[in-house]
């Protein structure tokens, strides 16, 4: 029987000496269970229970750093915990949901504005790369259910709802978020797209919610699915959270950090940390689109923009998304630690 070399990359340890064997092919190379590749071995983790291998960037959610302690693969993790417990649902009570998300009082919550918005053809919008606002569900109760699903995920994970980037004492100040520092430059958001982004924010403040549900999977935990058809180029959400310097997070094992600014001077690079304050973006899965299956599943793109000199990150639909589809964005960039993409 072939003997496997146990490469404990999570601790950066040297591989154990290769055992002697009379067979030239007696040593199995360790491959990622998700993508089938044995490359990028510095990011290939071995489960402490079953020795199955996984790339940090093939896990959902991804791991931004190699864990310093013990690590268990998704199968062993769910087995050892007898599968994740079903979370307690947030009350489907309008007043509680309005308070939780700080919906503006007197905003006519539960009603969609009757004003008809002029929509350009998909072909025209696609050609000019113009972003589209999300289209809320018409049924007020259904929107309450969508919001309650997010409230359930946030309260279960101990996260405070925020729909904006936040700047906390002891972390990066707002003055550090300057798009001009981006190495190679950053895509400037057009006036039309900025107006669309503002429109989305205003709709949410009125309780006109994106048609998304946060669902709970016993193995993967919380994830997000489309609750109605979503058109290509629709703004799904802004990626928000606490802004910090990347240098402060070098040993952070957080699984949802996002590149905000990749500066020429690395000491000025910034990341978004959604573990304490965030929105639905925290629960949308990243995916490795280096695999054929990943390419088929990917339906969102992570896009960084220069908005009035400030770096912002949006998740945008890259194709029409059917009701019931789980949402996945591509995190494969020039570096595996953090997802970062331009809209091209």
Please state which of the ranges 90-99, 102-111, 260-269 shows the lowest mean pLDDT.
102-111
How high is the pLDDT of residue 136?
A: 96
Contact call for residues 245 and 176 (beta carbons, < 8 A): yes
How high is the pLDDT of residue 106?
A: 65
Question: What burial class does residue 95 get, using C-beta atoms within 10 Å of its C-beta: 0-12 exposed, 13-18 middle, 19+ buried?
Answer: exposed
Number of C-beta neighbours around residue 116 at 10 A: 6
Kindly tell me if the per-residue pLDDT of 153 is higher than 90: yes
Kindly tell me if the per-residue pLDDT of 59 is higher than 90: no
Q: Which of 46-50, 58-62, 306-310 is most confident?
A: 306-310
pLDDT digits (tens, 9 = 90+) for 109-149: 656 555 444 444 444 444 567 999 999 999 999 999 999 99
pLDDT digits (tens, 9 = 90+) for 288-328: 666 677 778 899 998 999 999 999 999 999 999 999 999 99
**Beta-carbon contacts of residue 250 (< 8 Å; ≥ 6 apart):** 65
Please state which of the ranges 77-86, 161-170, 289-298, 313-322 shows the lowest mean pLDDT.
77-86
Average pLDDT over residues 243-271: 87
Say which residue, 14 or 63, is predicted with more confidence: 63
Residue 286: helix, strand or coil by DSSP?
Answer: strand
pTM: 0.74
Phi, psi of 164 (to 5 degrees): -135, 160
How high is the pLDDT of residue 60?
A: 62
How high is the pLDDT of residue 311?
A: 97
Work out the percent of the chain whose per-residue pLDDT is above 70. Answer: 74
pLDDT digits (tens, 9 = 90+) for 267-286: 999 999 999 999 999 999 88
Average pLDDT of the chain?
80
How high is the pLDDT of residue 289?
A: 64
Helical (H) or strand (E) element with 287: strand 285-287
Alpha carbons within 13 angstroms on the beta-carbon side of residue 249 total: 29
Number of C-beta neighbours around residue 120 at 10 A: 12
**Beta-carbon contacts of residue 13 (< 8 Å; ≥ 6 apart):** none
Residue 248: helix, strand or coil by DSSP?
Answer: helix
Is residue 33 very low, low, confident or very high in pLDDT (cuts 50, 70, 90)?
A: confident
d(CA 327, CA 226): 7
Say which residue, 33 or 230, is predicted with more confidence: 230
Say which residue, 311 or 81, is predicted with more confidence: 311
d(CA 10, CA 253): 11
């Amino acid at each position: 029987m072939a003997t496997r070399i146990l490469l404990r990359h999570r601790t950066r340890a040297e591989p154990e000496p290769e055992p002697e064997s009379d067979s030239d092919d007696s040593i199995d190379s360790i491959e990622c269970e998700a993508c089938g590749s044995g490359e990028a071995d510095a990011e290939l983790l071995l489960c402490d229970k079953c020795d199955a291998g996984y790339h940090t960037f093939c896990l959902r959610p991804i791991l931004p750093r190699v864990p310093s302690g013990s690590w268990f693969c998704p199968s062993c993790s769910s087995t050892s915990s007898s599968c994740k417990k079903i979370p307690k649902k947030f009350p489907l009570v309008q007043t509680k949901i309005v308070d939780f998300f700080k919906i503006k009082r007197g905003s006519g919550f539960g009603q969609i504005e009757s004003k008809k918005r002029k929509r350009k053809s998909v072909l025209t919008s696609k050609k000019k790369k113009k972003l589209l606002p999300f289209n809320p569900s018409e049924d007020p109760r259904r929107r309450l259910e969508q919001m309650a699903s997010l409230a359930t995920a946030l309260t279960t994970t101990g996260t405070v709802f925020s729909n904006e980037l936040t700047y906390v004492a002891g972390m990066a100040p707002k003055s550090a978020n300057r798009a001009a520092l981006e190495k190679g430059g950053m895509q400037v958001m057009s006036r039309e797209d900025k107006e669309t982004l503002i429109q989305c924010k205003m709709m949410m403040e009125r309780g006109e919610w994106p048609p998304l549900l946060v669902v709970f999977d016993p193995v993967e935990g919380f994830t997000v699915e489309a609750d109605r058809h979503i058109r290509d180029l629709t703004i799904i959400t802004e990626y928000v959270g606490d802004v910090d310097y990347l240098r402060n997070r070098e040993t952070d094992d957080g699984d949802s950090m996002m590149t905000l600014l990749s500066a020429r001077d690395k000491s000025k690079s910034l990341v978004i940390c959604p573990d304490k304050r965030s929105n639905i973006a925290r629960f949308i899965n990243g995916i490795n689109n280096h695999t054929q299956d990943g390419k088929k599943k990917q339906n969102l793109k992570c896009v960084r923009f220069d908005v009035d000199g400030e770096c912002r990150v949006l998740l945008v639909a890259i194709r029409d998304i059917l009701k019931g589809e789980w949402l996945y964005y591509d995190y494969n960039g020039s570096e595996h630690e953090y997802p970062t993409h331009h809209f091209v």
